[in-house]
Amino acid sequence: MKELKEWLKEKQVERTIKALQGNGFQVRYFPEKSQAREYILSQIPQHATVGIGGSLTLGEIGLFEGLRNLQINLINPSSKKLSREEAYNLRRQALTADIFLTGTNALTEDGHIYNIDASGNRVGAMFFGPQKVLVVAGTNKIVKDVTDARRRIKEIAAPMNARRLGYKTPCVELGQCVECKPPESMCNVTVIIEKKPRSTDLEIVLIGESLGL
Ligand code: SF4
């Protein structure tokens, strides 16, 4: 049974990589997170400005420990000790970093990158501003199409993320999305990157493990 499931997953990953490449994205696949981490660290030049988009995946692959050993200017708005204003300013700075590292809510089998943001700073930096963008994702983020991507976010990622961050959204209370409105909504900006943005060197680092939400 395990072998059959692995075979099916392998086929899904293969067709997703092919579709993403067909839409102009560079894709690197690594079976294990440690390999992906070393690759990402090797892509960051000395003294680069490195912006971070909110992502559990980056933490799960141990990236922050690796970044601490590099001579870089790290811009991490999700750092715990920041005031609201400091975090806001760092989000703005990350929009023009040399390199932007982020996770993604979903990748579709037909080759698109799908995300929903509260403020939009993470998705904005994904398609314009930074010279290079590395989108890091486990294969659990692969879904069939944009309809399934939206469903996945609303049913799984957003409620769990809201609970993790201590937000008082209706989905935290109910365990399901009721399409709440601002100011409590954290689902305000939906971005589908259909094909490689012309001015951005966007690469997807896909990892053969289940990572993030
Ligand atoms: S729209 Fe509101 S209720 Fe739905 S997932 Fe987003 S924050 Fe939760």
Report CA(162)–ligand 1 centroid distance (Å).
8
Report yes or no on 14 lying in a domain: yes
Residue 150 lies in a domain: yes
Q: Is residue 148 included in any domain, yes or no?
A: yes
CA 178 to centroid of ligand 1, rounded, Å? 6
Distance 33 CA to ligand 1 centre (A): 30
Per-chain mean pLDDT for the chain? 96
**Nearest Cα residue to atom 8 of ligand 1:** 171
In a domain, 118, yes or no: yes
pLDDT at residue 54 in the model: 86
Residue 115 one-letter amino acid: N
Residue pLDDT, tens place only, 53-72: 989 999 999 999 999 999 99
Decide if 118 contacts 191 (C-beta within 8 A): no
Q: Angle at CA 33, nearest 5°, toward 110 and 93?
A: 75
Structural domain includes residue 131: yes
175: in domain: yes
Indicate if the pLDDT at residue 14 is higher than 90: yes
- The minimum-distance atom of ligand 1 relative to the CA of 167 is 7
Question: In the structure encoding, which two tokens stand for residue 20, read together?
Answer: 């993403």
Centre of ligand 1 to C-alpha 47, Å, is: 39
Q: Which residues pair with 50 in a beta bridge?
A: 74, 99
Can you give the pTM of this predicted structure?
Answer: 0.95
> Looking at the domain assignment, is residue 213 inside a domain?
no
Whole-angstrom Cα distance, residue 57 to residue 118? 18
| 212 found inside a domain | no
CB 122 within 8 A of CB 75: no
Number of domains the chain contains:
1
Confidence (pLDDT) at 212:
95
Q: Tokens at residue 67, please?
A: 């970044």
Among protein residues, the one whose CA lies closest to atom 6 of ligand 1: 187
The response to whether residue 161 sits with its C-beta less than 6 Å from ligand 1 reads no
Give the domain CATH number at 7.
3.40.50.10420
Q: What is the pLDDT of residues 106-156, one digit of tens each?
A: 999 999 999 999 999 999 999 999 999 999 999 999 999 999 999 999 999
- Location of structure tokens 């989000």: 91
Task: Report DSSP state, residue 166.
Answer: T
CA distance 155 to 118: 16
Compute the distance from residue 189 Cα to the ligand 1 centre, in Å. 12
Measured from the Cβ of residue 67, the count of other Cβ atoms closer than 10 Å reads 19
Q: Which domain holds residue 47?
A: 2-207
Element spanning 14, H or E? helix 2-22
Probe residue for ligand 1, chosen from 155, 177, 184, 190 as the CB with the greatest number of ligand atoms within 8 Å:
177
Residue whose CB lies within 8 A of the most ligand 1 atoms, among 176, 185, 188, 189, for a mutation test: 185
How sure is the predictor about 168, in pLDDT bands with cuts at 50, 70 and 90? very high
Q: E-assigned strands of 15-121?
A: 26-30, 49-52, 73-75, 99-102, 106-108, 113-117
